Amino acid sequence: MKILQLDSNHHVLKNRLEQHGCIVEDDFHSDYQSVLDKINDYQGIIIRSRIPIDENFLLNSNLKFIARVGAGMENIHIETAKLKGITLINSPEGNRDAVAEHVLGMLLLLVHRLEIASHEVKNGIWLREENRGDELMGKTVGIIGYGNMGKATAKRCSGFGCKVIFHDILPHLEDAYATQVDMETLYSQADIVSLHVPLTESTHYLVDENFIAKMKKPFYLINTARGKNVKTSAVASALKSGKIKAVGLDVLEYEKSSFENLDHLSEELQYLLSSEKALITPHIAGWTHQSKIKMAEIIAEKIIDQLGE
């Protein structure tokens, strides 16, 4: 089987597949059309986010599988892939621990004002009362989306003495770390909201003015899912009013589809970038040295299993 790898990944992925008899060719630079022109030479592709696998791409290919090194599948036209019988593979198990730790890191920085206090001391400002922290112990964390990332986050939050509740569209997911609730319960109880949902029609702008208005208490918001799950203007307004205490965003509404940079800077995003109540990172929650290896290993094993079938 010939496989085209469109993004750079840990070498264990290519090595493992070649040991299994596959021919794996790399193309990390060609544009969409150049890849499309040669796609019929391959039975499988391995992607991250650089090239959109849209309806046109799929209709003009004879692929047996598409493997996404990561969790989200929104850059693949899933309906067309299913129609053509193309197997879709991803690896959310590989970076769930990285994402969960990133969520906790963001929360600790925000509630204990660690980044603010450190910056002040480095600039000769010594303020103790102004930097009094807000403990995680006893707070209610509301997780939306209880897949690999949500479960890993719940496990860590429970270790900090938090009560963890979650909402998911699938039933019967409750475990030792979190209690499944409806959205009304989450609105009324949560002190912290952490998003772990894919980007779909129903989750686009999941957190908007209406969502924020329904929250009964001022809350902390963390988003390590997809940028367009959160409406930037609504969050900026809520930060100004105090309805959102602080926000941690690893993903932004204005990210390019490749996640490599921003399309533009809106006035609301510029406000967040200048606010001490906003902690923003460049889509790196799942981006650790360990997750790079784990995702490559998991994708390799899933592809090998698929070949066996």
Which domains are assigned to the chain? 2-90 (3.40.50.720), 95-280 (3.40.50.720)
pTM exceeds 0.85: yes
Active site residue 255: yes
pLDDT tens digits, one per residue of 5-51: 999 999 999 999 999 999 999 999 999 999 999 999 999 999 998 99
**Mean of the pLDDT values across residues 242-260?**
92
Name residues whose C-beta falls within 8 Å of residue 260's C-beta, 6 or more positions apart in sequence. Answer: none
Note the pLDDT of residue 249: 98
Q: What are the tens digits of pLDDT across the range 163-186?
A: 999 999 999 999 999 999 999 999
Q: What SS3 state is found at 80? A: helix
Residue 261's pLDDT band (cuts 50, 70, 90): confident
Percentage of the chain beyond pLDDT 70 is: 100
33: left (phi over 0), alpha (psi -120 to 50) or beta: alpha
Choosing from 50, 167, 255, 268, the catalytic residue is: 255
Distance CA 58, CA 39 (A): 9
Mean pLDDT calculated for residue range 232-251: 98
The mean of the pLDDT values for the chain is: 96
Known catalytic residue: 172? no
The DSSP output letter for 255 is B
Please pick, among 196, 226, 253, 268, the residue that the annotation labels catalytic.
226
In which residue are the tokens 């390590």 written?
224
How far apart are alpha carbons 10 and 239 in whole angstroms?
39
